[in-house]
Chain A
Amino acid sequence: MVNSGEVVALFGPNGHGKSTLLKTISGLHQASAGSIKFNGLEISSLPSHKIVEMGIAYIPEERHLFRDMTVMENLKMGAYNRRARPSTQQNLAFVLEVFPRLVERKDQLTSTLSGGESRMVAVARGLMSEPTLLMVDEPSIGLSPGMRHAVFDSITKINREKKITILIVEQEIRNALKLANRIYMLKKGHILFERSATEVNVEEIEKAYF
C-alpha cells in the first residue's frame, strides 16, 4: 500500500517479484489473480495506456527509450497522453531543471547517451506524463556513485516539489533508505515485512535477503 505523497522503497532479492509487481501495476503484465486499486478504483484489468492516463508512470529498469529519436523527441513522446499534453512546455521546463545534464544533450539521439544519462531521460520521460504516482525500477543500477547521487537527489526533488508519490525498487539500500518514508521487503513474491524508514537500518535489511 502506498499513500499519497510518500516515498516507498521496495527491497528484495532478485527474481523475487519486485519488477513483476511494478510491471503488473503499470499494465505491462497481466495479473493472474488478485486486485490492484488506485485511488479506490480497480485497475488490474486495464490496458497500459489507460493506466498512464490515470496518472501512474512506470520507469522500467531497461529504460526502453526510443533509440533513434532525440532526447527532446523522447521527452515530448512522454507527454503523449491526453491529460499531460496541455502542460508539455511547463513539464519540459521542470524536467530540464531536475536533470540539467539533459539540456546540452537535448538534440542528441538517445542511443548515443551514457548509462546514467539515458536513465535520466527515462525518468524525465515518465515525468512528462504528469503522473501522481511514479514507479521507478532500480534507477541506480549500473551507475557510477556520482550519478547515483544525482539520480536520488532528483527523485527527492520530484517528490518534494511536485508532491508526486514515489514507489522505488532498489538494490542500493543505503541511499534508498535515506529518501524513503517507508519500506517493504519482498521475498519469494510475498511481503516479508513493512517498516517505517526511520525504524530500520541497512544491516537488518541486508540480513533479510538471506
Chain B
Amino acid sequence: MKTLKKLSWKNILIILVGLFVLIYPLVGANSYIKHLFILFFIWSVVAASGNLLNGYAGINSLGNIGFMAIGGYVSGILAKSLGISPWISIIIGGIVTCILVTIFLGLPALRLSGIYIALLTLIFADTLPSILTLTREITGGAMGLHEIPGFLPNMEKIHAYYICFVFFLIAMLIIYRTIHSRTGLAFMALRDSENFATTLGVNRFNERLKVFAISYFLTGLAGGFYVHSLGDISPSTLGIEPFLLGIAMIELGGIGTFAGPILGAAVIVFGGEFLRLAGTLRLSLLGLLICVIILFFPGGIMQLLSQSESFIRKQIKKRKPVEKVQPT
C-alpha cells in the first residue's frame, strides 16, 4: 500500500490518539472528563476557524467567541421556543451567524486594513452583551438561556460526546480541504502579497467572502453544538475570559498551522484545571501567557515541536557517521 510509506511517527501518533478518543468513553471515562472533551471538540473548531481567518487568510478577526455565541443563541432559541429539532436549528444558527457576521463585519472589513478589522470585531464582541440585554425577552438577557433541548430526548453525556466528536472531525476535514484547495492557496497568496495576487487574477472580494463564510459558518455551528450539548448559554460566554482563551488557543498552538489550534485548544481546555486553581489570578495568568507566547514563542507549540524535531534529528545525524568511518 502506498499510504504505508508515508506513515511517519506523526501519523501513527495521530491515529493512536484518534483511537483513544474514540474508545475512551466506552471504557468508563467519568462525566467531567467527557464534559472537558466536548468543550475541547467545540473549542477546537472555533479556534481552527479563527486560525483560518487570522493565520491563513491574514484577516485579523478578534471577536470570534462572540460569533460562536450568536450561533448558539439562535439555535437555542429556535429549539427551545419554537420546538425546532436541534439538528436543523444548529444549521440555521450556523447560517444566521454566517450571514449576519459577513454583512456587518465581513463586508466592511473588505474595504479596511488590518487594524480596523481587529477593532471592528472587538467592538462588536463588546457590544453583544448590551444587545443581549436589550432583547432580553427572547434571549434571556443577563440570565441567559437554560434548559436548551439536547440532540436526542434523554440525551446523555456520552451521546453528546460522540456527536461533538463527529462534528469535530467533519469541521476539521472541511478546514483541511479548504486550506489545500485553490481557495486556500488564493487567500494565502492574498495574505502574503496582496498586490501580486490580484494581478495574477485572484479575486480579492470573492476569496475573502469565501473565507468569511466558511469560517463564520463553522463557528456558528460550533455554538449550536455547544448549547445543545451543555444546555445553557449566557452573556458570560462572551466575557473577557473566553475571548482571551480563544486568542490564547490560536497563539499557543501556533498560528497559521493546521494542528496548532487543535493543540492549543487541548492545552487550554485540559490545562484549564490549573487556571481554575489559580482562582482570582486566572486572568492575570492568561494575560501573562499571551504576552510570553507572543514575545518568545510566536510560533506556538508547533514551532517548539518542529524545533525540537530538527534538534533531535541533528543529534541523530551526529552519531551516525561515526559508524561509517571505520577503518577497514
Judged by CB atoms under 8 Å, the answer to whether A and B touch is: no
- Report which B residues bind A (CB closer than 8 A): none
